[in-house]
Chains A and B, each alone.
Chain A
């Protein structure tokens, strides 16, 4: 069928693009500078796809994406830092246990909350908070005993393997921590009206940034070095890893959007009250989307942390937190293809092209040109570059038209719908 062919073409082109870049990096034809920018582009694609789910598809105006990105980055960085610099799996073990026990606690609290009908959001939040604290303390206590054995097990593997495994787990766990925090934060905050939700999530981003500024003193993670910036993170994010995660995120997003759950998600954006009247649990849909979007943000942050091997709280400044929002709007709200294209464009043009095009000494001009481009873009195409357009594989395909039964001459059970289509 036509759609199948175009899907094939899409994958051929997309995979070809990814492999070509890998080949260029591998052979050294692509300089480190451009390779880094491409990685950043892919990372931004993942964050922005997450935001597009939350804002473009579910209609929740979130400025908190950058905060979850920061959480993912620092979590994963801490895990790999401890593995490479301190030579133990303490970060991995504790974070893993925190993730597992906190999800268990959330699960149990959710059971209690669903029993208590009509519990208000703030009260539910309090119960979840208690569960979270108990689980986290328990995790740290139990984790201490498990650090040595797990370190030993991982040390049995060849060192290059072990570090890749630790890195992979760190990225996933970075996403999971972001997801869990977004769950508990979203619970009360998602009840707010759209603009107020946006402001509360902006607040979240700022709170995270301030905490990171003081991560060595207030939070007690001396290796994060607070406002001086965290150094010594292994540079593990290869183009292959980035591409794998980008493909995974794209497939998950696409599959979800093309299902009944995706439609339920979109119905909340379209009209909350009508969605409720159609039996859709709006609060649940908002939470699911918010958590999934934040999970993507966490993944992306974790990948980002290992691109340069250096993290600074200023990267997670609220001014920069508008970047994913700009990318999503630029690419087209509700268009995953647009988001990916816009993210790569953003990374390559802003840091790459403008740096090259502008004459020596005028590098600072790029932040003058950038807002102007943004302005012109918004004035010319307020619906974004792609509008709601999607590439073949990502596009929703309409099922073949329905033929009422009465029209069939012999209504036999063998009458396969294959013949009706064209």
Chain B
């Protein structure tokens, strides 16, 4: 072995110091921008974190669908955001027109109010999930399956086509209007604030100065997301279907030889992802009570960034990426620049990709010769 003296420049190049310097400057700038204001008003900062958490959990549910589908068919399913929108729409009709959330109260009048509302809400979410799952499987069968052996871009273009179709079909005057519609929640919103203990905020009253607000919505979102995430993890890790999914994601031809019905597994993956998106649609609509037919685009895009940020194809990655995305969006809007928040979200993504080219949890692409 030869001993070589490394010059300063050599060391700088080897350690990639110039690039790291740039990143450090950017990160410091962001931390300073946020931190400076956060120290001045810590309550507001915590409030922002809570809001970010609520958003992040919804994104997580959508991001999982992107990541699962990508993991198994390597397709960026651009129609996923619109499936999410359909989920919200279904719940809007279920609650607004069909009063589905009141069926337990109607069927069993003796039930305590809380329980009948709980069952009602759950049935609304389940209905949305089911319809989204059916929709996604239909889309998969009609639009993606025939293209499985075509170049990957064809399926991507059909995905975009499906997305356009869902949006513009929904926006037609006789189907629905292209307007914003106020969403009716299946349950009443209850808000608490934390200031010298937890108090309930009376309806119509302004929250006290310096109190940190949270609502039953936040609790519901977190509970539902965690529950769904746990069930998904159980399905993927423990059940036979999950094993088949992982095997198909890894190597389709071999899985087929092992007797796995790969087409069926792909449909199930689409259904699972769409069901989660459907649930996310309901939760999103209850948190931000307004529905319209382009509502899926931006959350879909954000969730997609989250999935890529976490490493597309990885389930924990999607979750972590979504939480980061939620925080980033809220903090960027609150502390840096509201109109720039989408740009900031994507800047974060690009920066992360430059440091970790396949996302946080992504496996490195190995060049094989």
A residues apposed to B, CB below 8 Å: 55, 61, 116-127, 129, 188-189, 191-193, 195-196, 198-200, 202-204, 206-207, 210-211, 213-214, 217-218, 273, 277, 318-319, 322, 325-326, 329-330, 333, 364-365, 367-368, 370-372, 374-375, 378-379, 382-383
The answer to whether residues A375 and B358 also contact, given A203-B349, A329-B153 and a CB cut-off of 8 A, is no
- B13 touching A119, Cβ below 8 Å: yes
Given A371-B162, A378-B147, the answer on whether A122 and B154 have CB atoms closer than 8 Å is no
Instruction: List the B residue with the shortest CB-CB distance to A376.
Output: B161
CB distance from A117 to the nearest CB of B (A): 7
Query: Nearest B residue to A211 by beta-carbon distance?
Result: B343
Q: Are A126 and B19 in contact (CB under 8 A)?
A: yes
Q: Could you tell me if A378 and B158 are in contact, using CB atoms closer than 8 angstroms?
A: yes
Q: How far is the CA of A382 from the CA of B149 in the complex (A)?
A: 10
Question: Which B residue's beta carbon lies closest to that of A366?
Answer: B168
Is the beta-carbon distance between A116 and B350 smaller than 8 angstroms?
no
The answer to whether A191 touches B19, judged by C-beta atoms less than 8 angstroms apart, is no
Cβ contacts under 8 Å, A121 to chain B: 19, 354
Q: Report the separation of the CA atoms of residues A385 and B31 in the bound assembly, to the nearest whole angstrom.
A: 51
When the two chains form the complex, which single residue of B22, B76, B172, B178 contacts A195, counting CB atoms closer than 8 Å?
B76
CA distance A333 to B153 in the complex (A): 10
Asked if A123 and B13 sit within 8 Å, CB to CB, the answer is: yes
Q: In the bound complex, do residue B353 and residue A200 qualify as a contact, i.e. CB atoms below 8 Å apart?
A: yes
Complex interface: stretch among B202-210, B259-267, B334-342: B334-342
- Kindly state whether residue B196 has any CB partner on chain A within 8 Å: no
Residue of A nearest to B164 (CB): A371
CB neighbors of A among B303-340 (8 A): 304-305, 308, 312, 337, 339-340
**Among B146, B346, B355, which residue has the most Cβ atoms of chain A within 10 A?**
B346
A129 and B22 contact, Cβ closer than 8 Å, known pairs A210-B343, A319-B297, A378-B158? yes
Complex alpha-carbon distance, A378 and B150, angstroms: 9
Contact A213 B151 (CB under 8 A): no
Contact indicator per residue, chain B 5-29, by CB within 8 Å of chain A (1) or not (0): 0000100011011111111000000
Are B158 and A374 interface neighbours, CB within 8 A? yes
Q: Is the interface of B mostly helix, strand, loop or mixed?
A: helix
Contact of A382 among B9, B17, B154, B297 (CB under 8 A): B154
**Distance between B74 CB and nearest chain A CB, rounded to angstroms:** 8
Known A196-B357, A374-B158, A382-B154; contact A127-B350, beta-carbon cutoff 8 A? no
Give me the interface of B with A, judged by CB distance under 8 Å. Answer: 9, 13-14, 16-23, 74, 76, 142-143, 146-147, 150-151, 153-155, 157-158, 160-165, 167-169, 171-173, 178, 297, 301, 304-305, 308, 312, 337, 339-340, 342-343, 346-347, 349-350, 353-355, 357-359, 365, 367, 369
**CB-based contact B339/A365 at 8 Å:** no
Q: A196-B353, A196-B358, A378-B158 are in contact. Are A218 and B308 (CB under 8 A)?
A: no
**Distance from B356 Cβ to chain A, minimum over Cβ atoms (Å):** 10
Cα separation A124 to B173 with both chains bound (whole Å) = 53
- 6 other A-B residue contacts (CB within 8 Å) besides A121-B354, A189-B350, A195-B74: A116-B9, A119-B18, A123-B22, A192-B357, A368-B169, A375-B143
Task: Point out the residues of chain B lying under 8 angstroms from A122, CB to CB.
Answer: 16, 18-20, 22-23, 354-355
Instruction: Determine whether the beta carbon of A322 is less than 8 Å from that of B18.
Output: no
A198 to B151, CA, bound (A): 16
Tell me which of A117, A207, A372 contacts B13 (CB under 8 A).
A117
Cβ-closest chain A residue relative to B75: A195
Chain A residues near B146 (CB, 8 Å)?
A: 379
Contacts of B13 in A (CB 8 A): 116-120, 123
The residues of A that contact B76 with a CB separation of less than 8 Å are 195, 198-199
- Are B22 and A118 in contact (CB-based, < 8 A)? no
Known: A125-B22, A196-B357. A383 touches B367 (CB 8 A): no
With a cutoff of 8 Å between Cβ atoms, the chain B residues found around residue A126 in the complex are 18-19, 21-22
Whole-angstrom CA separation of A361 from B333 in the bound complex:
40
Q: A203-B346, A322-B160 are in contact. Are A273 and B369 (CB under 8 A)?
A: yes
Between-chain CB contacts (< 8 Å), 22 pairs: A117-B13, A119-B13, A121-B354, A122-B355, A123-B18, A124-B19, A127-B18, A188-B354, A199-B308, A200-B350, A210-B340, A214-B339, A329-B153, A333-B153, A364-B172, A365-B172, A367-B164, A371-B168, A374-B164, A378-B158, A378-B161, A382-B147
Given contacts A195-B312, A368-B172, contact A214 B340 (CB under 8 A): yes
Cβ–Cβ contact B358 & A364, under 8 A: no
Q: Is the CB of A364 within 8 A of B164?
A: no
What is the bound-complex CA distance between A416 and B165, given in angstroms? 62
**Closest CB pairs A-B (n = 5):** A122-B19, A203-B346, A382-B150, A123-B18, A367-B168
* Interface pair B340/A218, CB less than 8 Å apart: yes
Q: Return A126 CB to nearest CB of chain B, in Å.
A: 4
State whether A382 and B151 are in contact (beta carbons under 8 Å apart), knowing that A120-B16, A218-B337, A371-B168 are contacts in the complex. yes
Q: Is the CB of A193 within 8 A of B358?
A: yes
Q: Which of A123, A188, A199, A374 sits near B157, CB closer than 8 Å?
A: A374
Query: A139 CA to B24 CA in the complex, in Å?
Result: 28
State in angstroms the CA–CA spacing of A123 and B355 once bound together: 11
Contact A378 B154 (CB under 8 A): yes
- Contact between chains at A193 and B9 (CB < 8 Å): no
Chain A residues with CB under 8 A of B354? 121-122, 188-189, 192
Cβ distance A121 to chain B, nearest Cβ, rounded Å = 8
Say how far A62's CB is from chain B's closest CB, in angstroms. Answer: 12
Q: Are A364 and B173 in contact (CB under 8 A)?
A: yes
For A326, the closest partner residue in chain B by CB is B157
Q: Of B74, B154, B164, B357, which is within 8 A of A329 by CB?
A: B154
Say yes or no: B301 contacts A318, CB within 8 Å: yes
Nearest-Cβ distance from residue A324 to partner chain B, whole angstroms: 12
Determine the chain B residues whose CB is within 8 A of the CB of A116 once the complex forms.
9, 13
A151 to B39, CA, bound (A): 52
Closest chain B CB from A183 CB (angstroms): 16
Chain A's nearest CB lies how many Å from the CB of B255?
22
> With A210-B343, A364-B173, A375-B161 as given contacts, are A123 and B150 in contact (CB-CB < 8 Å)?
no
